[in-house]
Structure 1
Amino acid sequence: MSHVLSPHAALIVVDVQPDFMPGGALACHEGDAIVPGVDQLLRSRIFRHVVATQDWHPRGHVSFASSHPGRAAFEQISLYGQPQTLWPDHCAQDTPGAELHPAIDWSALDAVIRKGSDPGVDSYSGFRENHGPGGARPSTGLAGWLRERDVDEVFVCGLARDVCVLWTAQDALELGFRARLLWDLSRPVTSASDETTRAALQAQGIAIVESARLTAI
């Protein structure tokens, strides 16, 4: 079944950056497999609005395992009363691994949301930072930007499906947007998470859509 795009729909491309590709600092499972499809979708210009998010960490970021002596990457700690995964150093500001992927034509972009630039707070979602001191989740400004353009439905793709893509879709729904996830144009950190991710999306009513089914009005 095809999905006809409303003129009030937007595409959010999450963290398609070299550090998340095979061989990168924080490689996602088959992360490079989505690059041609994302490029094709952006070149198609079927979305009126397109936003990319970009992980953009200062060195010594709190989410890096290297910032916690004696801890290893992928261990979990408590940070501000919430679980925090410790990651390999990745997407350091002004490094090649943090750039938007060079094999994609980004000329269709309307905006880039850089996230994770606060050294003391991690940031998965394109809409809000993770929990910080006092439990707050500060806004990135994306929700307001979309509302100013009368967007009420978002399609999310990118990396990683089980972390930043999932959180972005969940926040979109919580903030009042209809949310869809483009499964074929996303990949997880680890494929072992796919069943859990599907279950979370289905439980919350976030539709799983294939990019080939998208058509413009």
Structure 2
Amino acid sequence: MMENTALLLIDIQHDFLEEGSLAVPHASEIFPAVNRLIQAVKDKGGLIVASQDWHPQDHVSFGSNHAGNKPFETITIQYENEAISQTLWPDHCVQGTYGATISEKISISDISHVVKKGTNRMVDSYSAFADNKYFEITELAKLLYQKKIETVIVVGLAADYCVKLTCLDAIKFGFKTILVKEGTRAVFPEAFNATMDELRSKGVSVASIDDDAFANVYLSP
């Protein structure tokens, strides 16, 4: 069964940890669950894939690139003749910087593939599958199809943005999708429970790592 399962590690990068420029509260609390899953999936022959936010310095989502606006404000931009609502963020995960690197607190050597996202300066990209407007699709879906993956287990940062959109896209692309709640935290912690409820309503299984139904299949020796 695990040969048809992939663990998706979403944006576990320094800029999203507590010391980062776009810090997710309590982000480091995910590491015990994430590392436990990495070891289990590795031992059972599953696939481990990480996504990596990889923005150019002039990315449209950076508040610093919009005079008169500040991070966490929302503006409207024009791209490909479409008006797009854009949340502004602090500069983060700039290509080639330390903040963009994947945290060494997870076993990087066990990652089979790294999918970079957010490289188009004019479109934000939360999901590991595609940018927010589906102008560009990453290689993730093709990779999973080629490896005959049927189930994806999702963890990472942050629950209310990149993890959420990755889960929703995984459903759209036809994968059974399981989010392990101990393996994610939200940019806005007060949104965590509502995010979990929304994902459940869209067909995502939200599991605890210690749920018998989950652990017996994915963690047991």
Give the 3 Å change call, closer, same or farther, for CA 61–139 of structure 1 in structure 2. same
Partner of 2:36: 40
Give the 3 Å change call, closer, same or farther, for CA 40–24 of structure 1 in structure 2. same
Give the 3 Å change call, closer, same or farther, for CA 37–202 of structure 1 in structure 2. closer
Tell me if structure 2 keeps the 8 A contact 1:11–1:47. Answer: no
Give the 3 Å change call, closer, same or farther, for CA 173–15 of structure 1 in structure 2. same
Correspondences of 1:63-74 after superposition (within 5 Å): 63-74=61-72
- Amino acid paired to 1:115: K
Tell me if structure 2 keeps the 8 A contact 1:156–1:169. Answer: yes
Residue-pair matches, total: 209
| Secondary structure at 2:183 match in 1 | strand
CA distance in 1, matches of 2:45, 2:184: 18
- Amino acid paired to 1:215: L
Partner of 2:159: 161
Partner of 1:90: 92
Tell me if structure 1 keeps the 8 A contact 2:2–2:46. Answer: no
| Secondary structure at 1:83 match in 2 | strand
Tell me if structure 1 keeps the 8 A contact 2:37–2:219. Answer: no
Partner of 1:215: 219
| Secondary structure at 1:163 match in 2 | helix
CA distance in 2, matches of 1:161, 1:47: 26
Structure 2: state its 5+ residue gaps: none
Comparing 197-206 with 44-53, which one deviates more in the overlay? 44-53
Q: Higher helix fraction: Structure 1 or Structure 2?
A: 2
- 1:113 has 2:111 as partner: no
Give the 3 Å change call, closer, same or farther, for CA 47–67 of structure 1 in structure 2. farther
Shift of 1:6: 4.0
Correspondences of 1:114-193 after superposition (within 5 Å): 114-131=116-133, 136-193=134-191
| Secondary structure at 1:162 match in 2 | helix
| Secondary structure at 2:159 match in 1 | coil
TM-score calculated relative to the size of structure 1: 0.91
Tell me if structure 2 keeps the 8 A contact 1:42–1:106. Answer: no
Could you report, residue by residue, the CA deviation over 1:55-108 in whole angstroms, capped at 9, with x for unpaired residues?
Answer: 111101100011111111011112342321100000111111110101221121
Comparing 156-165 with 22-31, which one deviates more in the overlay? 22-31
Tell me if structure 2 keeps the 8 A contact 1:31–1:159. Answer: yes
Shift of 1:110: 1.2
TM-score calculated relative to the size of structure 2: 0.89
CA distance in 1, matches of 2:129, 2:45: 19
Structure 1: state its 5+ residue gaps: none
Tell me if structure 1 keeps the 8 A contact 2:159–2:187. Answer: yes
**Aligned match for 2:24, one of 28, 31, 34:** 28
| Secondary structure at 2:199 match in 1 | helix
CA RMSD for the aligned pairs?
1.6
CA distance in 2, matches of 1:93, 1:115: 11
CA distance in 2, matches of 1:195, 1:125: 20
| Secondary structure at 1:81 match in 2 | strand
**Aligned match for 1:12, one of 8, 11, 17:** 8
Comparing 20-29 with 164-173, which one deviates more in the overlay? 20-29
| Secondary structure at 1:84 match in 2 | strand
